[in-house]
Amino acid sequence: MYDVIAIGCGPFNLGLAALADGVDDVRLAVFDSRPEFTWHRGLMFEDAMLQVSFLADLVSLVEPAHHLSFLSYLRQSDRLYQFYVREKFHPTRREYEAYLQWCAAQLESLHFGHHVRSVDWNGEAFELTVERGDAVEHYEARHLVVGVGTEPFVPAALAGLPEERFTHSADYLFRRDDLLRTGHVTVVGSGQSGAECFLDLLRSRDTAVSWLTRTAAFTPLDYSKLVLEMTTPSYVDYFHALDERVRDQLVKDQWRHYKGISSETLEDIHDVLYARDLSAAPAELQVGVGVVSAVARADGLELTMLHADSGKTFQHTTGGVVAATGYRNRPLPFMESLQPRIDHDASGRWVINRNHSVQGALEGRLFVANADLHSHGVAAPDLGLGAVRNATMLNSVAGREVYRLPKSTAFTTFAIPG
């Protein structure tokens, strides 16, 4: 019998295990079907930067003196002074993964190669059926945290293209050489992932490259200081108290806060375009266009595009396609038996309390990590919220203040004064 079992071991549930480490009255286990911890390997470019400060590690924004902080990692790897002289708050993405793996290696509560097949409720605890190789094992837990993360999303218009000519951006580096051999690669979608894939393709000067997006511009991430206060617990408090209809509209309107492109990446792209313009294969950028359909021809792929402003369609031919089309929450077949005990909103989503527990018959027992954009706003997928969310859940599970939560996190007032 565990106090908490967390399903999925991404950065958020890894952070939960880190904060629970050393808390004597909370026995926790994390199950993940993968053989080991990895993070965004298909987009691990050498120079890719994390889009948040090193303080957005697993623990620091709740307990900066924790032994699994990023600074502790630097000290143990004897790189603290190098990081200090570097004078950049943002680590590289590769270094952040190394930090996460360093933490994972020190946590005995993590169990990889454990595939959760089903979860049931017996009236007092959750019963989990778990596949481990050829064996089937059974576990119980008083509380459950679902944090299986997201999976690559491919729109219907691009589905069915031949694998040798198509990939989602999540697997770009694994498929890069195949794509380059097609002679002309088109990136569809203009978030950070799409921009990084396009920039990498641009640097392969012998390959023609196209970049197509539905948005009206290649829009930069809004990273101004006061806008960043919308990723703080103060804004989450405000957002969560709003009506569902208002929250849904705000999430649509605030896409630039978490789906835009870093200004540094856009500058790099323009620099490479300028240099490439003299003596390289052609490069094409087009905004305000969406893919209507796509078919494979003998000599490549043909995409039917809709130009939003004119309402007209045109054909775009290419050798290969990278779909930088984002991610969607993973399906939860193992939770099927619990769905009748969970409250759902008008859109069929789980109704999630401010403390990240799910409303319904399992309230206070079932929690979610990074599946609460609709209830907690643009901060939900932000690494900077992870430590506070995990501390909130641990406090709730323990029934006491295991970790002191920050009270004041923004200068901005979001609600009506008083």
Per-residue pLDDT of the chain (418 residues; tens, 9 = 90+): 999 999 999 999 999 999 999 899 999 999 999 999 999 999 999 889 999 999 999 999 999 999 999 999 999 999 999 999 999 999 999 999 999 999 999 999 999 999 999 999 999 999 999 999 999 999 999 999 999 999 999 999 999 999 999 999 999 999 999 999 999 999 999 899 999 999 999 999 889 999 999 999 999 998 899 999 999 999 999 999 999 999 999 999 998 888 899 999 999 999 999 998 887 788 999 999 999 999 999 989 999 999 999 999 999 999 999 999 999 999 999 999 999 999 999 999 999 999 999 999 999 999 999 899 999 999 999 999 999 999 999 999 999 999 999 999 999 999 998 7
Report the CATH number of the 153-221+259-323 domain: 3.50.50.60
Q: Which structure tokens are listed for 60?
A: 């620091």
CA distances in angstroms from 6 to 28, 142, 207, listed in the order given: 8, 11, 45
* Torsion-angle region of 69 (φ positive above 0: left; ψ -120 to 50: alpha; else: beta): beta
311 Cα distance to chain centroid: 33
Domains 2-149+330-398 and 153-221+259-323 share a fold: yes
Backbone angles phi, psi at 170, to 5 degrees: -60, -25
- Token pair 């502790």 is found at 72
Residue boundaries of the structural domains of the chain: 2-149+330-398, 153-221+259-323
Secondary element (H or E) of residue 387: helix 383-398
Q: Which pLDDT score, from 0 to 100, does residue 202 have?
A: 95
CA distances in angstroms from 295 to 161, 198, 409, listed in the order given: 7, 22, 50
Q: Which pLDDT score, from 0 to 100, does residue 121 have?
A: 98
pTM, 2 dp: 0.95
Instruction: Give helix then strand counts, H and E, for the chain.
Output: 13, 17
Q: Which pLDDT score, from 0 to 100, does residue 290 have?
A: 97
Q: Which residue from 189, 221, 194, 192 is spatially nearest to 289, judged by alpha carbons?
A: 189
| DSSP track, 60-80 | TTT-TT-TTSHHHHHHHTT-H
Which residues sit opposite 329 in a β-bridge? 150
Q: Which pLDDT score, from 0 to 100, does residue 280 have?
A: 77
Q: Which pLDDT score, from 0 to 100, does residue 150 have?
A: 93
Q: Which pLDDT score, from 0 to 100, does residue 110 have?
A: 98
Backbone angles phi, psi at 403, to 5 degrees: -125, 135
CA distances in angstroms from 300 to 62, 225, 283, 322, 325, listed in the order given: 52, 45, 18, 14, 21
Pairing mode of beta strands 320-323, 166-168:
parallel
Report the CATH number of the 2-149+330-398 domain: 3.50.50.60
| DSSP track, 235-304 | HHHHHHTS-HHHHHHHHHHTTHHHHSB-HHHHHHHHHHHHHHTTTSS-EEEE-SEEEEEEEEETTEEEEE
Secondary element (H or E) of residue 198: helix 192-202
86 Cα distance to chain centroid: 27
Q: Which structure tokens are listed for 149?
A: 């993360």
Pairing mode of beta strands 289-297, 300-307:
antiparallel
For the chain, the distance separating the N- and C-terminal CA atoms, rounded to the nearest angstrom, is: 46
Residue 205: helix, strand or coil by DSSP?
coil
Rg of the Cα atoms in the chain: 23
Q: Which pLDDT score, from 0 to 100, does residue 321 have?
A: 98
Residues 69, 74, 75, 76, CA torsion sign: positive
Query: CB count, 10 Å around CB of 312?
Result: 9
